Every structure is written in structure tokens, then in C-alpha cells.
Structure 1
Amino acid sequence: MATSSVNPANSSATLGGHGAGKNLTFHVSSDSVVCYAPTMITANGFWEGVNPLEYAMPIFILQLVLVVATTRLLVVLLRPLRQPRVVSEIIGGIVLGPSVLGHVKGFAATMFPSRSILTLETVAHLGLLFFLFLIGVEIDASALRRVGRRPFIIAAAGMALPFSIGCGASFAFRHQISHNIHQVSFLLFLGVALSVTAFPVLARILAETKLLNTELGQTAMSAAVVNDMCAWILLALAIALSDDHATPLSSLWILLAGAAFVLVCFFAVRPAMSWLGKRTAEADETITDSQLCGLLVGVMLAALATDSIGIHSVSGAFVFGLVMPTGAMGASVIEKMEDFVTGILLPLFFVISGLKTDVSTIRHPATAGLLFFVFVLASVAKIAGTLLVSIFYAMPLREGLSLGFLMNTRGLVEMIILNIGRDKKVLDEESFSTMVLVSTAVTALVTPAVNALQRPSQRLIGYRRRTLQLSKPDAELRMLAGLHDHRHVSPILSLLSLSNPNKRAPIFLYALHLFELTGRSSALIAAAPAAPAAPNFISDDHAPAGVSVYPLTAVSPYDSMHVDVCRLAEEKRAAVILLPFHKHLTVDRDMEPEKPGIRNLNVNVLASAPCSVALLVDRGLSAVDTRSAHHVALLFFGGPHDREALAFAWRMADNPSTTVAVLRFLPVADQRFYDLCVVGKAHRGAAAALTAGMAEWAECPELGPIGDLLASSDFSATVSVLVVQQYVDGEAGRSPETPGPRQLGGNSSLRERISNFNIVWGGR
């Protein structure tokens, strides 16, 4: 096998064959050809005296391991800077390319020989197809009809100014453009590259900066969806016009065929997908393996259709993802595919981009400087356009600036556009390398800029009624409930029903559905407000009368989820945060722990909450019939926490069907008020259960368990103790019943004095 010395960055060309068993050749560039044997797929081992890296399969596996290891290492190294993973992957591709490690002698020839580029690029584009399909699944196309006017105007302003700058730049670069490149095509490619917003990268940045559930985050997400849709339409138009030999008529046919493909997907494929999604949701199960295989075949057929039409294959995969129903089915598809696609296949695309990015090709500082200036100017224009619309809608200046920076999120979508432009010969190597570097730098600046503008201390809103004790009894009571799954809904609703909500004193509940951010987009799509499977498992229809429910969502790692909970409680001016205990009741009445992260969340919220917190340990409260009588006990020891508990119980006492018993425990110092403590010796019947086990530790059993406790030297009280044993029916110590009113005699005054020691509230 003979191989010419070729820079892998220039490896994009044609494949020609001469029959089975003969060598195949593919042109890497205009002045180099690579020849290889088609049967050299797997090696026979070292024992045959051959180098396994000369065979297609071993070298591909080694490349895959190197790519994944490099990108993961950079993700870890850049994590303290809070950079999105896409930035680490782009930098990883550049590091493995000719710009960095390509200068190491023998590295490119050994690890990325020219004969392996075709296989590497084919698999990388296959991963790109599936990733674009997942992006389409994440976007709810039907939600575009529900997007408000403000996100549409923000998206339009954020695209119009940068796109106009791209048009002006294409005119300025007209002398550097090759004569066989269509001017309109270059205009569209540069305009789209300068104005695009990467929706999936933006969602990740918003989740990590705790802005996903804020008004700012929701506005940015809605505007990014609109921006993405417009960008893909313009990109398809640019691809249709980029063919050197295409006539205006053939470009028109490409556009018409592309429009027909979209119509078929939305009006023929989408109903079938919706039926499958409803069937999956009704069965309350995830998508099956056979259904997933069918979807993967559909993705590849859609990509084949658009590639045959003349539009890039990623457009077909993206449109096929758009017609997928969101919610449980979409989240299930993403959960099954995302780890493999984003963790194994997609990094190969960044390596291919890195192999094409060569800093040494930037030989004209004036041209590169002008491109850099245009790119920065377009980013500033996007911020300015977004800020103007924000000011028009009376948004704070900091939020307007933050929104402008967020709309400059580029990353993967930008890389896709630039790679297509380079493959279509619209961008040369120098322009491609310059724009890759500038795009990566701009995306890397988004998270630090947003963090600086949206510091947590600046997002806090002061309010007075942070406790139940300070809340007005006849005013609306605001509560924030953290819910991890359906199991936590019923106990919370039962507790609210006991709290006597009514028109005079209503309860406004913010039902916060807590999703763990695991590095997958499935959590983000399941939490999307437009998704039918969003936190709507609790709503006004399920709540008792007098309770209004407003669903919210938080997507965070458990280590930092308390920040979301506390911030939302602050924003919504909640008086109480309701959290479920980290253990739940099993069928055999044991308490079984759930995810360990739930306990850490509760501890962190208790340590940093801006208002009162209530932890609910459910032992059957969800089964309580709210229409029958209820009995509530309050153990009062004193202090601010017990006073808050008393305020909660005081609210329950207003419920006509609820009886609240308050048991007050007095400290030892207060016992000096009493001169004598009178107690019965033994307890039998139902009362015996209250002192079970105490007799085993008694020093003086003749005093009984309670008398022994009061007379012990370990008991610091100074009160005298009188232990009484009753004589009943000739047998000492046998008293089968606790005396009732009749046994106390007819002295009503005596009964009244004794009953007053039991403080029982049936109402105020």
C-alpha cells in the first residue's frame, strides 16, 4: 500500500473504484492522491509482522479513543471556568488538528493518516445526522404558535442587524471570493453564520447559570427557537444556491422539492408520530426498541431524501426531528440516544472540524483582521438589537444586556454552518479557520458575561412576610412546594386541605417540579414549559378549593438545586417552602430512602432558605379523607421554630373538621413553680403503651416508671413527688380503666379543673 504525504486538513474529495480486489483511490486535494487496499479492514495481529494501524478498523478505534479522551479531559479542565461542553469539544478538535499537535513530528501521519479521513468523516457525519435529529426533537414546533410577540421581535432584531452586517461584509470581500462562487450564496452563508443562536447550547448555559426558569431564560429560549428555525431555512436556501454549475431553474427545483419534503413530513409523518406518542403516553411506558429502530431508519431515509434533492442531509434529519411529538416520547428517545450520540459520535465531528482548522493558513492579516472585525461587530449588533427591544418592553438594563449575550451563543450550529460552507467551497481555508476561532471565543465569553450581569445578590427581592407568624391571617398565603415525582403530590395537597384554604384566606401554591441535571438534554425537554409532560401533574383541577396552583420547573444537579429553590422562593415571595422527606413509606410500613440527593437538597435548603421551611414525612397523609374529621397534635417546646409550627397549627385550627391538640413541654427551671408532683404508680391497659420499656430501667420499681423517673437523682427537678396506687375490687394496683367524668364524681368543678390541663383547640 502506498500513500502520499498529505495534510489531513485538506482531505475532502472523491472516491473512485476499479472493481473488487483492486485498489481504490480517492483524491484528497487537487495535487495529491491516496491509494489503499479495500480489504485492509481488520489486522491479523502483531504475530504476522504487520502494523495494525495500517488497517482501517484499528486506526479508527484508536482515533475514537483519543478523541473521546481529549474532549473529556478538556471538559474537566474548563469546568471551573463554567464553560459549556461544546467549547471544550471545539478546542479539543483544534488541539488534535494541524494547529497544535499537527506540528509534532509524525503525529498527523500516525494518528490521522489521510487514508483514514474518509471513514472518520463518514462516521462523524452520521453522528451529526442523529444529533440534528435530537435537536429537532427538543424543539416543539407547535409551540411557535404560542410564542408571544416579544420573543419574535427579539429574534428578528437579533438576526436583522447581524445579517445586514454579513451582507455588507460579503460586498467588502467580493474581491477575495473565487470567481466560481455565487455571490448570493456567500452572502447567505456569512449572514446566517453571523446571526445564528445555538438553541441546545443556550439551554445548557441557562440551566447551569440558574436562569432557565426565570423570565429572562424563558424569553431567551423562545427567541432562540425562532432564530434557529429561520437560520435553518436560510441555510437550506444558501445550500441550494451554492452549486457552481447550478442554473437558476435547477436552484428553483431544489427549493420546491425541499418545500415538498417539509410538507410531507408535517402532514403525513407527523400525524403518525403523534399517534405513536399518544399510545406511548397512555401506556405510561418508554419507547420500545423496535420503535426506536424504526425512528432511526426514518432519520436516515429523511437525510437521504434531502441529500438527493440537493439540500444537505442534516436538513432532513432536523425536519424529521421537528415532526416528533414532544413530552414523554421525545424525552424517551433522547434518553436512549443522547449518551452515545453526544459522547461518542459527535466529538468526531469536532475533530474533523479541527483537522480543517489550520492557523498557519491565515496568511493575510488584513483579510483575517477584517473578518474578525466583522464578526465582533455582528456580535455587538446582536446585543444592541436585543437591548433596544428589551428597553422597549421595559426590561431592566442588566437583563437586556444578559439577553443580548445569551443570543450570541453559537457553538455547534455555527460549526455545522461553517463546515457546510467550506465543503461547498463558499469559504476558503483562511476564512474558515478565522471564523472557527472567533466563534469559539465569542461562545466562551457568554457564560462569564451573564454570570457577571446576573449575580445572585442582584436577583434577590426583599419582602417582609417570610414566615407564617408574620403573615396576615386574612391574606393570601404563598407557598413553594418542591416535588420530585407524582408520589409527593397527594401528601402536599392533603396538607393544604387541612390548612383551611378559603376565599378569605386563600393559598397560592408554586408547584416546583425538580429535575436532576445529569448532562442529558432529556431532562431539559421533559422540563420544557411547552411539553405536555411538564410539571402539569399538579394543577388547579387537582387542588382543593381555595388553593391556586402555578407550576414551575427547576433543572439542576442536586448539589446546587437548593439555589434554584431558594431563588424561586425569593422571587415568588413565598412564606413557606414545603419539601418532601427523603424517605417514603413502603408496602410493609417501613421507611425506605429515595435518591441520596434529595436529602442533601433538604439540608441545603434548610441552611440557606429565605423563608420558613417545612419538611413533610408522609406516613399515610395522602390517604386522609379531607371530608371527614381530623386530629392534629402540636408538640410545643418553645423557641422561634415552635412558634412557627404553632402558627401553622393555628391556621389548621380554623378548619371546622380539624381538632388541634397542643402539648406544651415546660423546661426544668419552670418546674420550681410546683411544690408537689402527684403521679400514679402503674399504668395498665391503653395507658401502659405510653410507658412501655421504662420499667426495665427503673431503679425503684415500687415507684412505678414515672415515679422512678421523677425521684431519680438524674432528674434535676426539685419538686416533691407523691406516688399513688389505687385499691380496686380487693386487688391492689388493678385499675382497668382511666377515670372518666362519672368516676370523678358529680363535682363539676373538679372535672373542669382537671380538663383545663389538656389544651385542646377545636377552633380559635
Structure 2
Amino acid sequence: MDMKVLKRMGRKALYTGIACILFPLIIGLSLGLSLQRSWLTKEEAYSLPILTAFHSLTPFPVVVYLLEKLEILNSELGQLGLSAAMVSDAIGLFLLVLATWSMVAREKGYFNGTFVGASTIIYLLTVVFVFRPAMVWIVKQTPKDGPPLGSAIVNKFNCFTEHVLLPLFVTISAMKADLGLISLGSNLLAFDIILLIATFAAKMVACLIPLLYSKMPINDAIALALILSFKGEVQLSLYSYSGDHQVQLILDKTLSLSIVAILINATIAPILVKYLHDPSRKYAGYKERDIIHNRRNAELRILVCIHKPDNIPTVIKLLEASGPTRQRPLTIYVLHLIKLIGRASPVFLSHQMQKKTLSKTCYSENVIIAFNRFKQDNLNGISLLHVFTAISPPKYMHEDVCNLALDKLASLIVLPFHRKWSQLDGFVESEDCAIRTLNCGVLELAPCSVGILVDRGRSTIPADSSYSVAMIFLGGSDDQEALTLAKRMANDMMNINLTVVHFVASGSEEIIDWGDLLDQQVLKDVKLNNVSGGCVTYIEEMVEDGPQTALLIHSMIDEYDLIIVGRRHNIVSPQTSGLAEWIEFPELGIVGDLLASSDNNTRTSVLVVQQQQ
């Protein structure tokens, strides 16, 4: 847990975190003190404070676990839940230490209580002023390109801990529950049930008040309240330890009821949260954010994603080819994506480009330097450049990408392809399935258009030579979007030549439906050679079927530096008939998959465009 985050979080998370620990604690203690004399014996009343504290806790690891299982860790609701849980957990741990200190002082004398308190303070000071600086020093001394020993150790131990030790612990703890002791005729059990319900209701209300006051939708507010009221292995360990006969802070009846309550809560809460909160709903009905609806010479906002330094040259070359000028500026947001290993909560950082110095431990240093240099080389054409770093689990990275694109009103997201080719022989060098999962997630949820960039190695082009771009047009909204981007690239002043190859099914009429009319509209200025001073070549090819299309594409693939195509997902046409059965990567579409095939020993990069859905 990074305590510095507490200083930076918003009021909504701060007030929610404070309320969800203090309000149930106050309600539980007040209720207990008013009922214990008539309901409980002295021995039974002894466990009231510690039991109320356990019921009121919101452990940070438990909230993280639930958010991971629901796959909303990186969503806006998940981030708010993490922040609130961090506040609540910090306060809860402080109160728990005070309660333990007080109980020891009351039972074993003030000297022993003072000793326990002093030991706790010494331990905390040692961690903060000795161990933490030591770990920071070790990190600084670690070579930048050295082996990721920490990540490897975490991966090794995490599997054994999560899949062996944790299930064993939960099973052993649950076996301590004696259902035969649960009898409704007992005053103690009746009191415990009332206390459980009261603290749970108080926690729900305490969470809802600040959330609804800040105008959060009612469904999301209830879902977040349920998340912060979720009980898991931390509460189970506390109850189990407190019910141990060597400690005996709570009685066996109370222990059994508490374990059953945890099982019920852990079963029902995730189902209700899943029903109430749909993360994809955030992007539904979003207004048009694509290139084709952007004014021709207006500012174009692009979000580019970087996984490794190898992605940088090709992405920068694509941005240069996009023709940033004073009349047609680009606003560029760069998101450096790093896999989260070894910590519970994801991290999202914003880097200010005007900072002259960078931290020695900055993971995105190379990314910042490269794009800062790109901005300096294109001062007139780059209106804004902002770099971000997201450190999160791979399966949730698409949330970071989509949220940033939504917040920054981006028109295009550029994603690197998951496969890397060798620059020496052109054969496949490596694949990353996590990146492919990310790309598929973004294609499904993106609030704007998406482009997957397949880098085949030819990223460095001499400044005095021309850059040849081809756009393969078959028809449909994705092809219209891809052609609009290609026309923006065409620029005689920057030696960028565009060739539009239009594959037409033989025997087809010129205009059949509304889609064909839109195709003709977007092709109109290309056919008239009226784009960027006439540096666009239009070629029309008549084809019978998919195999003929494939042959023509293979014959032209080595003639260009970059080929742009539309994804055309789930579109059936005569030009691609017979090719769908051989597709290897559906996220690229039929034509994109054909161009990115490992059978093609080429240096031509490919950009596959999907229009905003």
C-alpha cells in the first residue's frame, strides 16, 4: 500500500473511506453497549469491542481480490473502490492497534500495555526509516537492463500461495465453524446476528451517503457499497485467530456464526455487484469520435500505446506520416503499458513533458525522451504531447486504454500488434498473448476508432526519400475510416505518396445500397486526384473472388512502406469469398490477416483500422 496516494486522492474516496469504517463502528458499539447488560453475560460482553471492529473493517487486499475476480480493477468504479478501501484500511489498522494496546493494558497491566505500544511504534519507525530506504537503495543499485529477479520470484511463489496455501487456510478456518452451536434460542447468537446486520447496514448507508451526494448513479453507488462491505480471507483469519482456544477473544458460537456470515457475504456480494455494474455501459451511446467525422483540417487526437522500446520507431514514423502541420495539428497522448507484478493495486502516472530531469527509476524514461524529441522536431504540427504510464495486470489494461481515450476525447487509438518479426530475416521472433488479449479488449470496448499497427521492421526511412503508403479499399465503414486517415497522410511537401487500390467485384453495379453511396462519396476526391495537390494515385482492380484478391495483394505488398486497410469485421463480400476460413487473427480482419501472415517475408508494415462502433 502506497500511503502517498492518500494525499492525492479526491474527496469522494476520502469521505467514503472514512465513513465506511467509523460509522459502522460507532453504530455497532452504541448498539452493543445498550443491549449487552440485558442480553449478555460478562464473559460474552468481553468480545463486543473486538467483534464490532472486525465487522467494521474494510481490508484493502479483500477489495482488490473482489475487483480482480469481477474484472473491474482498472475501471473507474474499481479505482474509486481501491482508494476508499485504502483510506478505510489505514484507519482500521490504526484503531486495531489502539484496541489491542488497550486490551493488553486492561488485562495485563499498564506496564505490559505500554511495552506493546512502544514495540509497535518502534516496529513502524524501523520499517519507515530503515527498511524502506534500504529497499529504495537496492532498487537504485539494480542495473536498468538486469534480470527481473523480483518479478520471477513473485511469479514462482504466487502460484503456490494462491492455489495451494490459501485454499488450505480457508478450508481449515471454515472447519472451525460448528453449525451445531448455532441456535436461535441463544441470547448471544441473537445479539451477534443483530450486530452483524446493524454493522453491515451502517456500512452500506455510510458508503451511499457521500457517493449519492456526489451525484454517482444509484446502481454504481450500491455496487461500490457492496464492494466495500465484502468479507474475505482477511476477516476469516481475524475471526479464526480470535476464536483460537489459546487466545479466545471470541466464543465458539460467535466464531461459527461469523464464519457462516462470511461465506454468505462472499457468495452473494459478487453476484449483486455483477448485476448492478456493467463497465462497458460507460462507452455505450458515446458521441461520434472517429476520423471521418473530424473536420478535414481540424486537430486530430491520437492515443498511441507502447509496450516495449521496439514499438517506438514505427509508431513515431506513423505519426510523422500523419502529416502534422500548423494547419492540421496533432494532439498525441502516449500510454506506456507495463505489466503489474508484485503489488496489489494498479498505478496510473501522468508525466509532464516540460520536466527537464527524470527519476532514475522512471520506467518510461526512454518513451518520454523519444516522444519529446519527436515533438521538438515537429513543433508547428504538435499542439500537445502528454505521456502516461499504466502499471496494471495485462487482462485489465484495456480499461486503462479505453478510459484514457474517453477522457481525452481521442479519435484514434493506435495499438502495436502482438507479434514481432526479426529485422534480419523477416521471420517471427516472438509473440505476446497478453498484448493480443489487450488488443481484442480495446477493439470491443473502445469509445473511438482503433488501429492495430503491424511492424515488419522498416521503420527508419531517410529524410530525403519518399514514403509510400497504399490503402486497399473494398468498401464498408472501416474502409471509409481507413481511407480518410490515408488521405490525411498524403502530403507532397513531406514526400508521402498515397496509392488507393480499389478492389471491385466484377459484374457489380455502381451503387446498390446506402453503404455503396458512402463508399463513392469518400472515394470521390481520390478519383478526381484532388487530394493534397495531386499526390494520390487511384487504381481500380476487378476481381472475381477471394483467391484473386489474395494474388493481387501478394503481388503489391513489397512496393510500399505502409499499407492501410479496414478491419471489415463480419462483412461478407465477393472480393473476400473463400478467405475467411484461413484467417489466423480475427482482430486484423481478412485482408489485414492476409498481409500480416508469417508466409509473407516482407518489410512492409500494416495498419488495420476499425471505425468507432
Q: Structures share a fold, TM > 0.5? A: yes
Q: Tell me the CA shift for residue 607 of structure 1.
A: 6.6
Residue 418 of structure 2 aligns with which residue? 582
CA distance in 1, matches of 2:160, 2:323: 51
2:256 to 433, 458, 482: 433
Q: How does 1:336-351 map to 2 (within 5 A)?
A: 336-351=156-171
Q: Tell me the CA shift for residue 618 of structure 1.
A: 0.8
CA distance in 2, matches of 1:233, 1:652: 59
Residue 36 of structure 2 aligns with which residue? 173
Residue 648 of structure 1 aligns with which residue? 485
Residue 124 of structure 2 aligns with which residue? 262
Q: Tell me the CA shift for residue 483 of structure 1.
A: 4.3
RMSD: 3.7
Q: Deviations over 1:561-589 (max 9, x none)?
A: 76886677566654323222232121433
Q: Deviations over 1:319-371 (max 9, x none)?
A: xxxxxxxxxx5x55533432222333333332331232111112354432332
Q: Tell me the CA shift for residue 407 of structure 1.
A: 0.8
Structure 1 pair 237/610, CA: closer, same or farther in 2 (3 Å)?
Answer: closer
Native 8 Å contact 1:286 1:332 kept in 2: yes
Native 8 Å contact 1:166 1:190 kept in 2: no
Q: Tell me the CA shift for residue 169 of structure 1.
A: 4.0
Q: Deviations over 1:105-137 (max 9, x none)?
A: xxxxxxxxxxxxxxxxxxxxxxxxxxxxxxxxx
Is 2:469 the counterpart of 1:633? yes
CA distance in 2, matches of 1:477, 1:580: 19
What secondary structure sits across from 2:371 in the alignment?
Answer: coil
Residue 591 of structure 1 aligns with which residue? 427
Residue 109 of structure 2 aligns with which residue? 247
What secondary structure sits across from 1:213 in the alignment?
Answer: coil
Structure 1 pair 178/672, CA: closer, same or farther in 2 (3 Å)?
Answer: closer
Residue 539 of structure 2 aligns with which residue? none
Native 8 Å contact 2:204 2:226 kept in 1: yes
CA distance in 1, matches of 2:399, 2:159: 27
Q: Tell me the CA shift for residue 202 of structure 1.
A: 1.8
Q: Deviations over 1:444-478 (max 9, x none)?
A: 22222222221256323433434311112344433
CA distance in 2, matches of 1:642, 1:460: 23
Structure 1 pair 634/281, CA: closer, same or farther in 2 (3 Å)?
Answer: same
Is 2:148 the counterpart of 1:286? yes
What secondary structure sits across from 2:341 in the alignment?
Answer: helix
What secondary structure sits across from 1:356 in the alignment?
Answer: coil
Structure 1 pair 666/142, CA: closer, same or farther in 2 (3 Å)?
Answer: closer
Structure 1 pair 533/223, CA: closer, same or farther in 2 (3 Å)?
Answer: farther
CA distance in 2, matches of 1:655, 1:154: 57
CA distance in 2, matches of 1:225, 1:219: 10
Is 2:507 the counterpart of 1:507? no
Is 2:137 the counterpart of 1:275? yes
Structure 1 pair 614/218, CA: closer, same or farther in 2 (3 Å)?
Answer: same
Amino acid of the structure 1 residue aligned with 2:348:
P
Q: Deviations over 1:642-662 (max 9, x none)?
A: 332221122223584242232
Amino acid of the structure 2 residue aligned with 1:425:
Q
Is 2:190 the counterpart of 1:369? yes
CA distance in 1, matches of 2:266, 2:492: 56
What secondary structure sits across from 1:268 in the alignment?
Answer: helix
Q: How does 1:342-741 map to 2 (within 5 A)?
A: 342-365=162-185, 366-423=187-244, 424-456=247-279, 458-501=281-324, 505-509=329-333, 511=335, 513=337, 515=339, 522=341, 525=344, 527-529=346-348, 538-539=367-368, 542-543=371-372, 544-545=374-375, 546=382, 547-549=384-386, 551=388, 553=390, 573-592=409-428, 593-596=430-433, 598-599=435-436, 602=439, 611-624=448-461, 629-640=465-476, 641-654=478-491, 656-665=493-502, 667=504
Native 8 Å contact 2:40 2:188 kept in 1: no
Structure 1 pair 400/347, CA: closer, same or farther in 2 (3 Å)?
Answer: same
CA distance in 2, matches of 1:599, 1:147: 32
CA distance in 1, matches of 2:366, 2:88: 31
Q: Tell me the CA shift for residue 265 of structure 1.
A: 1.7
What secondary structure sits across from 1:542 in the alignment?
Answer: helix
CA distance in 1, matches of 2:219, 2:444: 29
Structure 1 pair 458/346, CA: closer, same or farther in 2 (3 Å)?
Answer: closer
What secondary structure sits across from 1:173 in the alignment?
Answer: helix
CA distance in 2, matches of 1:469, 1:485: 30
Structure 1 pair 665/207, CA: closer, same or farther in 2 (3 Å)?
Answer: same
CA distance in 2, matches of 1:264, 1:430: 39
Q: Tell me the CA shift for residue 275 of structure 1.
A: 0.6
Amino acid of the structure 1 residue aligned with 2:330:
P
Residue 86 of structure 2 aligns with which residue? 225
Native 8 Å contact 1:479 1:578 kept in 2: yes
CA distance in 2, matches of 1:672, 1:161: 72
What secondary structure sits across from 2:413 in the alignment?
Answer: strand
Native 8 Å contact 1:196 1:227 kept in 2: yes
Unmatched segments (≥5 aa) in structure 2: 351-360, 376-381, 511-554, 556-613
Native 8 Å contact 1:170 1:190 kept in 2: no
Residue 20 of structure 2 aligns with which residue? 158
Residue 753 of structure 1 aligns with which residue? none
Q: Tell me the CA shift for residue 159 of structure 1.
A: 0.8
Q: Deviations over 1:220-276 (max 9, x none)?
A: 111112222222222233333444741133212211221112112211221111111
Structure showing greater Rg: 1
**Length-normalised TM-score, structure 1:** 0.56
What secondary structure sits across from 1:189 in the alignment?
Answer: helix
Amino acid of the structure 2 residue aligned with 1:225:
M
Native 8 Å contact 2:72 2:279 kept in 1: no
Q: Tell me the CA shift for residue 594 of structure 1.
A: 0.3
Structure 1 pair 541/181, CA: closer, same or farther in 2 (3 Å)?
Answer: farther
What secondary structure sits across from 1:363 in the alignment?
Answer: coil
Q: How does 1:132-143 map to 2 (within 5 A)?
A: 139-143=1-5
Structure 1 pair 463/348, CA: closer, same or farther in 2 (3 Å)?
Answer: closer
Is 2:68 the counterpart of 1:207? yes
Native 8 Å contact 1:513 1:535 kept in 2: no
Structure 1 pair 204/180, CA: closer, same or farther in 2 (3 Å)?
Answer: closer
CA distance in 1, matches of 2:63, 2:481: 41
What secondary structure sits across from 2:4 in the alignment?
Answer: helix
Q: How many residues align?
A: 485
Sequence identity percentage: 26
Native 8 Å contact 2:75 2:399 kept in 1: no
**Length-normalised TM-score, structure 2:** 0.69
